[in-house]
């Protein structure tokens, strides 16, 4: 008679080493962009309020008032009953990369509205009075052009942003409904 050895009944309680898992992370800039995107999705207010905030920010972003554009945007959004956070963010339509083209365009619009030519403003630069007059004239034309361009850009951003905001909100609502239905 042959006997087979009994199976080993001892249980090894030491944890088995887990395979090393590599944590896959997104680059920091992608995470920040996603964070900002999600924050905008969660902004409170109706689409109309958000669009009015967007228009207010774009309007005030057209002015060469460095440092005061956000304050102006929030003030305009408050008067128009728009979203103030959206207004503050939309002022960044003018940023260090776009200052020169926007303000050069605004100056040209102001010059066109008045009916002058660019060479007239830079004629008498031999005296201090000539420099002062040029600064006043250029500033006035820039502010006039900024106002007109800001009004046009604000209206366009309202009517362009409103359907976009509604579409994003609709998708967000549909996605939430699907998640609730799955529960």
Res 120 pLDDT > 60: no
Separation between Cα atoms, residue 52 and residue 157, nearest integer Å = 9
Which of 22-26, 112-116, 150-154 is predicted most confidently?
150-154
User: What pLDDT is stored for residue 82 in this prediction?
Assistant: 93
CB atoms within 10 A of CB 38: 9
- CA 68 to chain CA mean position, Å: 17
The whole-model pTM stands at: 0.70
pLDDT for the residue numbered 175: 80
Domain spans of the chain? 30-182
Is residue 111 a contact partner of residue 145, using CB atoms and an 8 Å limit?
A: yes
Residue 43 has a CB neighbour count (10 Å cut-off) of 15
pLDDT digits (tens, 9 = 90+) for 2-19: 666 666 566 666 666 666
CB 88 within 8 A of CB 61: no
Within 10 angstroms of residue 4's Cβ, the number of other Cβ atoms is 5
Q: Is 154 exposed, middle or buried (0-12, 13-18, 19+ CB in 10 A)?
A: buried
Residue 168 binned pLDDT confidence (cut-offs 50, 70, 90): confident
Tens digit of pLDDT for each residue in 29-69?
888 877 777 776 677 888 999 999 999 999 999 998 888 99
User: Number of C-alpha atoms within 13 angstroms, CB side, residue 25?
Assistant: 6
């Amino acid at each position: 008679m042959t006997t087979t050895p009994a199976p080993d009944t001892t249980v090894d309680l030491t944890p088995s080493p887990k395979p090393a898992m590599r944590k896959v992370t997104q680059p920091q800039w992608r995470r920040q962009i996603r964070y900002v995107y999600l924050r905008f999705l969660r902004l409170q207010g109706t689409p109309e309020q958000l669009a009015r905030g967007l228009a207010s920010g774009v309007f005030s972003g057209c002015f060469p008032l460095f440092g005061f554009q956000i304050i102006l945007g929030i003030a305009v959004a408050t008067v128009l009953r728009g979203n103030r956070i959206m207004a503050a963010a939309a002022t960044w339509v003018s940023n260090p990369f776009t200052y020169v083209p926007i303000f050069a365009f605004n100056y040209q619009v102001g010059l066109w509205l008045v009916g002058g030519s660019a060479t007239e403003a830079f004629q008498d630069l031999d005296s201090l009075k000539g420099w002062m007059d040029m600064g006043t004239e250029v500033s006035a034309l820039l502010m006039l052009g900024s106002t007109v361009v800001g009004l046009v850009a604000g209206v366009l951003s309202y009517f362009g942003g409103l359907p976009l905001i509604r579409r994003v909100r609709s998708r967000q609502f549909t996605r939430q409904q699907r998640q609730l239905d799955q529960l």
